[in-house]
Structure 1
Amino acid sequence: MEKRILLLEDGTYFIGEAIGSEKETIGEVVFNTGMTGYQETITDPSYYGQMITFTYPLVGNYGINRDDFESIQPVVKGVIVREAAEFASNWREQMTLNEFLKEKDIPGISGIDTRKLTKMIRKEGTLKGLLAPYTSETDQEKLLHHLRSVRLKTDQVAEVSSSKPFISPGEGKRVVLVDFGVKGSILKELNKRNCHVTVVPYNTSAAEILSMHPDGVMLSNGPGDPKDVPEAIEMIRGIQGVIPLFGICLGHQLFALANGADTFKLKFGHRGANHPVKELASGRVDFTAQNHGYAVDADSVSGTDMVVTHIELNDGTVEGLAHANYPAYTVQYHPEANPGPDDVNYLFDQFIEMMDLEREGRMTNA
């Protein structure tokens, strides 16, 4: 088995076995605590530019299938596991994890102490990392110099968003879905509810969206820092109060910025399928799927026209917002799950109800 090195920007390194593509790559090293769902995780566009460390020790045991993709072309930089299953056992399995990574040109490493790596990230925060083939002649100092000299991309949303609008037809509510790196499962949930969905690029203007006469607008998930997407902030200001709005993950952060709040980078982010979130109004606690490196500053919400609706019970961060005057609400977590629990799937039904109520109100006032 060929050897591979995972080198971190602080000089720490791990030597393991190569899986996937043979290419050298650089990305932000993060960890995901989900026990299952590696296929959905690897194909989630929100992981653009990142190397995913799976904390569960065995990954790949049920293979890769045709149904669980969140995007057609994964944009992760690398996959880091304790053990990669050589054989898959599942009736839906079409290829092994290793075969999939090779097909998609994604390098990976197995056989390293992922527990140690995860504890490092929790203590130090996310770090840049480099994956490269390793032999006795590998010049680690040269690799480290190269790693430290590389700046990670900031135009991540532009890399993963649709370049042109497209339609997923239905006979129900007309929804414009703004694509900041949308997961396929969000579109599936809207289609389940018979919505007629028009997916538009991240830089679509408010005027263009309003010209489509939608019943509602959904702001999708996506990668990176929300402050790197100023076009979306202006767009949100132009549509809120006119059309019902529902935001997820990055869409939640952009909604906060558009209404005068602030965001900040988390030390190591929330990535997994087991995050407890409390709804403040009811006291209800749900376990949620999450994948984000930034959060809304709770103190900055004071003095705005927004109210905090949900909090994360692990660290108290803001997990939900609602506008005090407009039909608009957002959540930091993923109600479509995949991977993860579907405790909060009802939020899509609330979005439909909100569009119904807004339409009835307009007809009454007409």
Structure 2
Amino acid sequence: MTPAYVALEGGHVLEGRGRAPGTARGELVFTTAYTGYEESLTDPSYEEQVLTFSYPLIGNYGVREERFESDRIHPRAVLAKELTDDVTEWLTEEGVPAVDHLDTRDVVTDVREEGAMKCGIAVGEDVAEEDALAELEACTAMSDHTEIGAQVSVAESEVHNAEGDGPTVALIDCGVKGSIVDSLVDRDAVVHVFPYDATAADVDGVDPEILFVSNGPGDPKNYEQAVSLVETFVDELPVAGICLGQQIVARALGGTTEKMAFGHRGVNQPVLDLESGRVVMTTQNHGYTVDEPGDNLEVSQLNVNDDTIEGLDGVGCEVLTRQYHPEANPGPQDTLDFFDDVLEMAASTTRAVPADD
């Protein structure tokens, strides 16, 4: 059996079976999803994290590229009770260390009780506990990854569905999932994807009808340029956001955000819509949340489990955001109508055009 060690913040070291070799470090988090391991592993929001699957068997329906949310695996390492060969071969090809034969019930309990924590991973024939502890010692807190957006964003702008007949969307890519772009394109929107640090001039150049801020990893305070874009355009354009996008929009409009103890990651988070009284099941992946929405936003949805803010509407401005993922690959699909509402908001608003000098 290939040696494998997982060093947790506080000094405790777990031993498991090595399934993909290498060393790694990151913030230890867990997902409760039963399915969707391909989508989770390729979700850019897991950048700089070590992902633990709470479901005991991962890989039992293979690996298919058409399910990927991006072009690579984003977690720095993967922990599980048992991983199939299909998944470990994929992880090995991408150089992502993997450990199984762990009691993931204990790992999840530790994270729930202690919060998301730093960890170090060492897997290989010649590794020892000290190698994992060295990785732990070098691990950086998530909030200190100030340039994490550059690791997951497009380097240059790109357009999807250029000949579409729907609204023109300027999407700020802070680590967007492919299914978000697909959900807009499926509704015939023209989607211009911009880097996370795009300027107002970049966005203005495509004459958009809506500004859309994507999901992504890390602390929203480290996306200052995206916050600035929302501040610039909120009086001219409708603004929408998902996950990190909601947090960025809130910060731009006077709200505050905070780090959660262990976040929401999975496909079974219940959300209450305050207007209709309807509860929907949602897919989520975030470790930060909106604490106070500010004066120009009102809370429209809450998490049933812990009352965290799940939806925001604009007050005196056209804003619509969700903390969860309405596109929800692999499911559930309770909230796909969010994209219809966003594009309807864009279609019903006429952009102000500056007067000629």
Specify if TM > 0.5: yes
Number of aligned residue pairs: give it: 348
Contact 1:210–1:239 under 8 Å retained in 2 = no
**When the two structures are superposed, what TM-score results if normalisation uses the length of structure 2?**
0.94
1:200-211 equivalent positions in 2, closer than 5 A: 200-211=194-205
Of residues 125, 130, 133 in structure 2, which corresponds to 1:144? 133
Equivalent residue number for residue 26 of structure 2: 27
Q: Per the alignment, do residues 74 and 143 of structure 1 end up closer, same or farther by CA in structure 2, a change over 3 Å counting? A: closer
Q: Per the alignment, do residues 78 and 235 of structure 1 end up closer, same or farther by CA in structure 2, a change over 3 Å counting? A: same
Contact 1:53–1:80 under 8 Å retained in 2 = yes
Task: State the one-letter code of the partner of 1:178.
Answer: I
Contact 1:249–1:333 under 8 Å retained in 2 = yes
- Shift of residue 146, structure 1, vs aligned partner: 4.7
Is it true that 1:223 corresponds to 2:217 in the alignment? Answer: yes
Partner SS state of residue 122, structure 1 = helix
Inter-partner Cα distance in structure 2 for 1:121 and 1:100: 26
**When the two structures are superposed, what TM-score results if normalisation uses the length of structure 1?**
0.91
Listed as ranges, the gaps of 5+ residues in structure 1 are 87-95
- Shift of residue 143, structure 1, vs aligned partner: 4.1
Partner SS state of residue 40, structure 2 = helix
Equivalent residue number for residue 93 of structure 1: none
Equivalent residue number for residue 167 of structure 1: 159
Equivalent residue number for residue 41 of structure 2: 42
Contact 1:274–1:340 under 8 Å retained in 2 = no
Deviation digits for residues 129-180 of structure 1 (CA, Å, limit 9, x no counterpart)? 1111366x85535642552243243321111111100111223221111100
Equivalent residue number for residue 356 of structure 1: 347
Of residues 312, 324, 333 in structure 2, which corresponds to 1:342? 333
Equivalent residue number for residue 248 of structure 2: 254
Contact 2:25–2:135 under 8 Å retained in 1 = no
- Shift of residue 84, structure 1, vs aligned partner: 1.2
- Shift of residue 127, structure 1, vs aligned partner: 1.0
- Shift of residue 322, structure 1, vs aligned partner: 1.1
- Shift of residue 233, structure 1, vs aligned partner: 0.9
Inter-partner Cα distance in structure 1 for 2:129 and 2:3: 14
Is it true that 1:74 corresponds to 2:73 in the alignment? Answer: yes
Deviation digits for residues 279-310 of structure 1 (CA, Å, limit 9, x no counterpart)? 1111111000000000011xx335x1110011
Partner SS state of residue 208, structure 1 = helix
Q: Per the alignment, do residues 138 and 68 of structure 1 end up closer, same or farther by CA in structure 2, a change over 3 Å counting? A: closer
- Shift of residue 350, structure 1, vs aligned partner: 0.5
Partner SS state of residue 349, structure 2 = helix
Is it true that 1:7 corresponds to 2:7 in the alignment? Answer: yes
Q: Which runs of 4 or more aligned residues in structure 1 lie more than 2 Å from their structure 2 counterparts after TM superposition?
A: 137-146, 148-154
Inter-partner Cα distance in structure 2 for 1:151 and 1:323: 35
Q: Per the alignment, do residues 145 and 115 of structure 1 end up closer, same or farther by CA in structure 2, a change over 3 Å counting? A: same
Deviation digits for residues 196-215 of structure 1 (CA, Å, limit 9, x no counterpart)? 11100011122321232111
Task: State the one-letter code of the partner of 1:246.
Answer: A
Of residues 247, 253, 263 in structure 2, which corresponds to 1:269? 263
Inter-partner Cα distance in structure 2 for 1:6 and 1:266: 23
Inter-partner Cα distance in structure 2 for 1:103 and 1:140: 24
Contact 2:158–2:194 under 8 Å retained in 1 = yes
Is it true that 1:62 corresponds to 2:61 in the alignment? Answer: yes
Task: State the one-letter code of the partner of 2:343.
Answer: I
1:65-214 equivalent positions in 2, closer than 5 A: 65-86=64-85, 96-133=86-123, 139-141=128-130, 143-152=132-141, 153-169=145-161, 170-214=164-208
Partner SS state of residue 358, structure 1 = coil
Inter-partner Cα distance in structure 2 for 1:13 and 1:321: 42
1:289-300 equivalent positions in 2, closer than 5 A: 289-297=283-291, 300=292
Inter-partner Cα distance in structure 2 for 1:293 and 1:194: 32
Inter-partner Cα distance in structure 2 for 1:149 and 1:48: 16
Contact 1:220–1:251 under 8 Å retained in 2 = yes
